[in-house]
Structure formats: C-alpha cells, structure tokens
C-alpha cells in the first residue's frame, strides 16, 4: 500500500469536498494540487470518480427535500415542472460532455496555466456580478421558467474548462436571469446531482480497464474525505451566501490563480 499516495488522496479528497459546491472550481483546485504534489492519476479518473463522495454528501443533506419531491411528483404540477427543469439544465452538459470527453481529459485537464488563468478571470467575473445592483424576480429555484433552466444548463457547460467552476457558472447565469443569490446557489446543488452522477458513470465506463488496485485505494480514500467535507459545506453554504454574497469566493479564486500562475511560470 502506497502510504504517501493515500495521504495525497486524502488531501485531494478534502479539497474536492470543500470546493465542489462553492464557485471556485473543484476540478481546477484538484488538478493544480495534484500537479504540484506529483500525484499520479491514470486517465485523470481520480479527479472525476471521487465526486461520488460529494454526490452522496448532497444526497444526505437534501434527503428529506428529495423525498418530498418524489412524493409530490405524481400530484403536484409545480414539482413535475421543477424536475423537468433540472433535466433540461442537465441535458447540455450530458451531450457536450460525452462528445468532448477525450479533448477535455487529454488537453484541458493537462494545462495548469489555463486553469490558473480561468481561476483569475472567473474570480473577476464573479466579483463584478456579485456587486451588480440586480433586481431578483425569483426567490425559489422551483419557480424558474423552463427557458431559464435550459440557459443555466448551457452556462454550466463552460465549466468543462477546468478553472471555470460548475457551481460558479450556473450561479452567475441564474443571477443574470433574475434569481436571488440563495435560490441560485440552491439550484446549483440540485443540478449538481445529475451532472456529477453522469460524469462519474461515464468516466468509470471509459476508464475502468486502466484502474489499478493502488488507484482504487486512492479513490476510496478520496471519496470518504470528499463526502465528509461536502456535508460540512452543503450544510452551511446557503446561509453564508445569503449573508456574505460571493465576493469572498471571488477573491479566493484570484489569489489561488495568481499563486498558481507564479508557481507554474517559476517551477513549470
């Protein structure tokens, strides 16, 4: 058993859980941290497969809400419309992600400099949007128009560029379409479930033949760490966003991107 590798997996799993549901790009953080740790991930499967821990974290926290949705689905038109909206928002990522899987994993995931630049650019965009005097029209994610759900789904596809942030792109799009900050963040939670589950299943299908015993141990450790950290974040994020907005995450992105860019230019 590779103890140093397991320790790296533990650190990366904590990073995944802490960053998956906030608009800072968990994939960007994972790839940068793995790059500087010298972490070996066959086919970059580790970075995608440990997302299962984050998926289970949000399912755990939202279990009661999801159970109510399932219960109300046959009889409540509003619930059926919301479920249709989540599926519409998921559709662009499913199609584009499957079509561009090889390019994303083999090209975009292998460019630390691109990740750093996107962290910085995305940080400034998030900071600008957070400071706009927007007039929210929607205060519940279940009340978005169907076209708005689809628009958020297309915006989420930008996160296939590591460093952009899945939650960040969906939150910014929702706010620009008229959502308040809390509803935008909550919808990003719901959209994360099919998006991350789909990415997990597709990546496992594509990479199952190259996974070794050592990589499976790493994935298991990263999964548990991501689950624990993810539960912590999901339980606290909505209240934090309601009170503080997204500016703290924007500054974090800019700082991490700048430090990473300096390190890449200095050390390669």
| pLDDT tens digits along 141-151 | 999 999 999 99
* Predicted pLDDT of residue 48: 84
pLDDT for residue 162 is more than 90:
yes
Count H helices, E strands: the chain?
Answer: 13, 0
* Predicted pLDDT of residue 39: 85
* Predicted pLDDT of residue 95: 95
pLDDT for residue 5 is more than 80:
no
pLDDT for residue 158 is more than 90:
yes
* Closest alpha carbon to 18 in 242, 260, 228: 228
Q: Tokens at residue 143, please?
A: 């009340």
pLDDT for residue 268 is more than 90:
no
pLDDT for residue 25 is more than 60:
yes
Q: Tokens at residue 29, please?
A: 């953080």
Q: Where are the alpha helices (DSSP H) in 100-212?
A: 101-106, 112-131, 146-156, 166-176, 181-207
**CB contact burial 108-142 (16+ within 10 A = b; e otherwise):** bbebbebbbbbbbebbebbbebbeeeeeeebeebb
Region of poorest pLDDT, from 2-6, 11-15, 92-96 = 2-6
**pLDDT mean over 79-106:** 94
Note if the pTM is more than 0.75: yes
120 vs 219: CA distance, rounded Å: 29
Q: Which position has the token pair 């962290």?
A: 119
* Residue count (the chain): 268
pLDDT for residue 160 is more than 60:
yes
Environment class of residue 94 by beta-carbon count within 10 Å: exposed (0-12), middle (13-18) or buried (19+)? middle
172 vs 166: CA distance, rounded Å: 10
Chain segment 207-260, per-residue pLDDT in tens: 878 888 878 888 899 999 999 999 999 898 888 988 888 999 999 999 999 999
* Predicted pLDDT of residue 1: 55
pLDDT for residue 24 is more than 70:
yes
* Predicted pLDDT of residue 212: 81
pLDDT for residue 2 is more than 70:
no
**pLDDT mean over 145-163:** 96
> What is the extent of the structural domain holding 172?
3-37+44-267
* Predicted pLDDT of residue 49: 85
14 vs 18: CA distance, rounded Å: 6
Which DSSP string corresponds to 162-183? TTS-HHHHHHHHHHHTTB-HHH
Residue 32 phi, psi (nearest 5):
-65, -45
Domain count, the chain: 1
Residue 138, SS3?
Answer: strand
């Amino acid at each position: 058993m590779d103890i140093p590798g397991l320790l790296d997996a533990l650190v990366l799993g904590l990073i995944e859980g802490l960053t998956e549901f906030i608009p800072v790009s968990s994939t960007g953080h994972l790839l940068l941290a793995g790059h500087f740790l010298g972490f070996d991930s066959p086919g970059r499967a580790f970075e995608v497969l440990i997302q299962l821990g984050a998926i289970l974290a949000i399912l755990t926290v939202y279990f009661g809400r999801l159970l109510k949705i399932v219960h109300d689905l046959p009889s409540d038109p509003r619930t059926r419309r919301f479920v249709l909206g989540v599926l519409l928002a998921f559709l662009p990522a499913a199609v584009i992600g499957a079509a561009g899987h090889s390019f994303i994993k083999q090209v975009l995931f292998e460019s630390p400099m691109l990740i750093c630049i996107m962290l910085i650019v995305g940080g400034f965009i998030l900071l600008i949007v957070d400071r706009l005097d927007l007039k929210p029209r929607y205060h519940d994610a279940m009340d978005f128009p169907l076209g708005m759900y689809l628009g958020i789904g297309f915006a989420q596809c930008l996160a296939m560029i590591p460093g952009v942030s899945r939650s960040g792109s969906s939150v910014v799009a929702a706010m620009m379409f008229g959502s308040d900050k809390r509803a935008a963040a909550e919808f990003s939670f719901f959209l994360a479930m099919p998006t991350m589950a789909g990415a997990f299943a597709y990546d496992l299908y594509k990479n199952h033949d190259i996974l070794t015993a050592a990589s499976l141990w790493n994935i298991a450790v990263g999964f548990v760490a991501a689950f624990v950290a993810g539960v912590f974040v999901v339980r606290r994020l909505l209240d934090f966003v309601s009170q503080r907005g997204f500016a703290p995450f924007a500054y974090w992105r800019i700082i991490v991107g700048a430090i990473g860019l300096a390190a890449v230019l200095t050390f390669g």
